[in-house]
Chain A
Amino acid sequence: NAGVTQTPKFRVLKTGQSMTLLCAQDMNHEYMYWYRQDPGMGLRLIHYSVGEGTTAKGEVPDGYNVSRLKKQNFLLGLESAAPSQTSVYFCASSYGAGPYEQYFGPGTRLTVT
């Protein structure tokens, strides 16, 4: 099993450009999450999904949109990138809520100039 994969691994955007980050998991997990990690910081939750067709806001949702059209995929979109969105983005999935571990992807390093 590949676990959680993320595409792309690196990306450089100019301010105002848009892009979509793709997350895929092959563990049949219901829950999926998008986090961002800034230098010296822990992870902050952007959006999450509790199942196919559902999405919800996390701690820092502004400037991002998400979609979960298929159970195994969770897309994170930036409609108009800003330098403040320069970060490392991690996708994660879990079997359920509560006492379940989250499985993380390798991350996408995004730079917005």
Chain B
Amino acid sequence: SQQGEEDPQALSIQEGENATMNCSYKTSINNLQWYRQNSGRGLVHLILIRSNEREKHSGRLRVTLDTSKKSSSLLITASRAADTASYFCATDVLYMGSGGGADGLTFGKGTHLIIQP
């Protein structure tokens, strides 16, 4: 079952505005990552935030993490047309396979962001 759930499912804003999308998850995590997927392409890693961090910045991206509420938010400032994409949060999950456990990622369904020129 999917751990993370993004909100909203879709978001349309004007170029230059800020875009905020949220992610909620169910169980305790060690870290949370955000990925971007352009239409028909593979996912690209944006940012990772550890469970002991509350906020992290990378260029126009700002990620917050509230472990007490089991939620994270991704803020994209001064949006551009090129930011049009789907954004996924991913949380670590322990898969118990042969040879021991291994951390993997479980992804939410994503927020589809459209930047109107």
Binding site for B on A (CB under 8 A): 4, 31, 33, 35, 40-45, 48, 50, 54-59, 90, 92, 97-99, 101-107
A57 contacts B107, C-beta separation under 8 Å? no
Q: Which residues of A contact B41 (CB under 8 A)?
A: 106-107
With A40-B109, A107-B42 in contact, is A54–B99 under 8 Å at CB?
yes
Contact B102 A31 (CB under 8 A): yes
Q: B102 near A56 (CB under 8 angstroms)?
A: yes
Whether A45 contacts B48 in the complex (CB less than 8 A), given A99-B30, A101-B33, A105-B42, comes out as no
B-side interface mostly:
strand
A97 with B106, Cβ < 8 A, contacts A48-B95, A105-B42, A107-B41 known: no
Contacts of A58 in B (CB 8 A): 95, 104
Assuming the contacts A45-B106, A107-B42, asked whether A98 and B30 have C-beta atoms less than 8 A apart, the reply is yes
A-B contact list, 12 entries, CB within 8 Å = A4-B42, A41-B109, A43-B43, A43-B107, A50-B97, A56-B97, A57-B95, A59-B106, A90-B42, A98-B92, A99-B31, A104-B42
A97's contact among B98, B103, B110, by CB below 8 Å, is which?
B103
Q: Are A48 and B48 touching (Cβ within 8 A)?
A: no
Given A42-B2, A42-B110, A43-B88: A104 touches B43 (CB 8 Å cut-off): yes
Which residues 27-42 in B have Cβ within 8 Å of A in the complex?
30-31, 33, 40-42
Taking CB atoms, residues of chain A closer than 8 Å to B108 are 42
Please report the C-alpha to C-alpha distance between residue A48 and residue B43 in the assembled complex, in whole angstroms: 17
| Cβ-neighbour of A101 out of B48, B50, B97 (below 8 A) | B48
Nearest opposing residue in chain B for A51, CB measure: B99
Q: Is the CB of A106 within 8 A of B42?
A: yes
Neighbouring A residues of B109 by C-beta, 8 Å = 40-42
Docked Cα-Cα span, A97 to B33, in Å, equals 13
Interface presence of B105 (CB below 8 A): yes
Interface: B45 (CB within 8 A):
yes
The residue on A at minimum CB distance from B96 is A56
Given contacts A50-B102, A57-B97, 7 further A-B contacts (CB under 8 A): A31-B102, A42-B2, A45-B104, A48-B97, A98-B31, A102-B45, A107-B40
